[in-house]
A and B are shown apart, each in its own frame.
Chain A
Amino acid sequence: ELKVEQNPLFLSMQEGKNYTIYCNYSTTSDRLYWYRQDPGKSLESLFVLLSNGAVKQEGRLMASLDTKARLSTLHITAAVHDLSATYFCAVVFDSNSGYALNFGKGTSLLVTP
């Protein structure tokens, strides 16, 4: 069964703190994506990770991929309020399906003063 599991599902953290969101997936994948969604809005692409050991950083967010462990992490450094949003990881399991995405349940992040 194709599964994408994120944890935690809800996260409240103080400004300035660091935290990591985890994304596990059940079987071999071609690629993994991280998206951000603000309330009532569509998805904003953050990162695409294509190979084992891939690491990408943008501002206070850093994403990594371990294909052997089938695990991706999204690390938040020195959180600020503007990072409050829901973060989704998504996995392509079958390129032959046209690169259809399988989403995790999302992590709802709230950064408080």
Chain B
Amino acid sequence: GAVVSQHPSWVICKSGTSVKIECRSLDFQATTMFWYRQFPKQSLMLMATSNEGSKATYEQGVEKDKFLINHASLTLSTLTVTSAHPEDSSFYICSARRHGGDTQYFGPGTRLTVL
């Protein structure tokens, strides 16, 4: 149990377009989901924390108008990168925490390349 999926696995888009990434908890309800970004050969950096039904909490330096996060249900959170630019190219990983638990279950990641 505790499987998290992400879609798409990889995406290539043109500069200026928007990209939506989905994160789903397949076999449990996730009250909290986290979005991380990882640049090549670097660590994971927390971008935002989202709780179902409420606004996401963004980390310092992360533009909330650029990285739109929606956590509309207990099994789905989406990250939309608006007006993407090449510097947004990165590996985006989500994780989910079930209600009452403290373990985060990580998705397989989405590799975004902006041309």
**Which residues on A are within 8 Å of B, measured CB to CB?**
30-31, 35, 40-43, 45, 48, 88, 90, 92, 95, 97-106, 108
Contact = CB atoms under 8 A, between A and B. Distances in A.
Interface of B: 32, 34, 41-46, 49, 51, 57, 93, 95, 97, 102-104, 106-109, 111
Given A42-B106, A48-B103, A99 B93 contact: no
Contacts, number: 51
- SS class, residues of chain B in contact with chain A: strand
Contacts of A108: 41
Nearest to B109: A42
B93 A101 contact: no
A88 B49 contact: no
A108 B32 CA distance: 30
Contacts of B32: 98-99
A41 B108 contact: yes
Which 3 A-B pairs have CB atoms at the shortest separation, nearest pair first? A42-B109, A98-B32, A43-B106
A105 B42 contact: yes
